Amino acid sequence: MEELSPQEIAELSKLLKALESDLAQVLEATIENDQPVDLDQPIGRLSRMDAMQQQKMQSASRAAQKIQLAQVRNAQEAIAADEYGFCRRCEEPIGLRRLRIQPEAPFCVRCQGAREQRR
C-alpha cells in the first residue's frame, strides 16, 4: 500500500474533525441518560427492570463513543506529528479505503483482524 498524499490527509483530517464534532455533540446530549435508575421511583417492577436495562445499554453506547472520540483525537495528534495513516502495530500504511470508512483506525486490516481473533 502507498502512503497518503497531502491531499488525502487533508480530506481525512476534515472527516476526523466532523466526526469529533458529532461524537462530542452526542455525548453532551446523552449525558443525562448515563445516570443510574432511581430505585425509589414509583413504577412497576418490570418497568424498573426495563429502565435499568435501557440505562445499561445507553451507558455501554456512551462508553464506545468515548473510546471512538479518544481514537479520533489520537488520529488528529498523529496528523500533527506526521505519523497518520500508519498501523501502530506493524507500521505499514493503513490504506486510504479503510481510512475513508474509519478515519480514526489505528491499525491496518490485517493487524486489526489479528487483534480481534485473540479476543
- Residue-wise pLDDT for 29-75, tens only, equals 988 766 665 556 666 666 767 777 888 888 899 999 999 999 999 99
Comparing 40 with 26, the larger pLDDT belongs to 26
Q: What is the mean pLDDT of residues 85-108?
A: 96
pTM of the entire structure?
0.81
Q: What is the pLDDT of residue 2?
A: 84
What are φ and ψ of residue 36, in 5° steps? -65, 155
Cell numbers standing for residue 99: 481510512
Q: What is the mean pLDDT of residues 68-87?
A: 97
Go through 26-61 and write b for each residue having 16 or more CB atoms within 10 A of its CB, e for each that does not.
eeeeeeeeeeebeeeeeeeeeeeeeeeeeeeeeeee
